[in-house]
Structure 1
Amino acid sequence: MSLAQQQPASINPRNPHGLGDPNDTTLRKVEVEVLIPKIMRDRARSELCPKEVADFEECCKASSIFMVATCRKQNSALMDCLSHWYKNEAFKEECKAIYLKERAEYRSTGIPKKHRVEKI
């Protein structure tokens, strides 16, 4: 196929910015093993285990260099809470859906999430 016959990626409605099909739901290995677990970790820490995170942080601040020995109870509670959510398949699917939605928005607009302004 010659260059004259090739269409630019931006003309293709399924790939408007040359970033991939916004409706594609297949995942690469890095998305499954790194990007989706990052969303899970961030949401678990901020939304689902905030008390455990705050307790552990407070203990670490108060204990200074002895935190390894003195904060075992808080660390254990935090790890239990986080691992509970990491093993929850419904939570994993929810985070996967969030990732796919963000990726589809990026692919259709060409604007990364950190540069998108949320309209209120």
Structure 2
Amino acid sequence: MEVLIPKKMREIARDEKCPKEVADFTKCCKDSGLKMIYKCRAENKALWDCLTHWYNDAEFKERCRNEYLQERSEYRRTGLTQKERKNLQTTGF
């Protein structure tokens, strides 16, 4: 659990809280090739600043913790992961 909650925080922060920074950094890396280490420092810093802000936010951490506990509870009840449940819903089986 000590590893899974930060992982969940990282995923949610990247997808919901910092999508512009992720997109900017990704674009810079694709455009720069091997020179990305030098050329994308500003984008990398902006991304890490955004992620660090959310990692240190107590309410966000509590939200991620609650979501994790809810998913774990659902897994224990059904024996299916969130991804497996979603696949079942889309395929209709």
Query: Is TM (by shorter chain) over 0.5?
Result: yes
Q: Which structure dedicates a bigger proportion of its chain to helix? A: 2
- The unaligned stretches of length 5 or more in structure 1 are 1-30
Larger radius of gyration: 1
* Residue matched to 1:74: 43
The TM-score normalised by the length of structure 1 is: 0.70
Q: Which of residues 63, 82, 87 is equivalent to 2:56?
A: 87
More displaced stretch, 83-92 vs 107-116: 107-116
1:57 alignment partner, SS class: helix
Q: Which has the higher contact order (CA 8 A, sep 6+)?
A: 1
2: CA distance, partners of 1:68 / 1:86: 24
1:50 to 2:50 alignment? no
**Ranges of 4+ aligned residues in structure 1 off by more than 4 Å:** none
1: CA distance, partners of 2:34 / 2:22: 18
2: CA distance, partners of 1:112 / 1:45: 21
Identity %: 55
The CA RMSD measured in Å over matched residues stands at 1.4
* Structure 1 residue 116: Cα displacement: 0.6
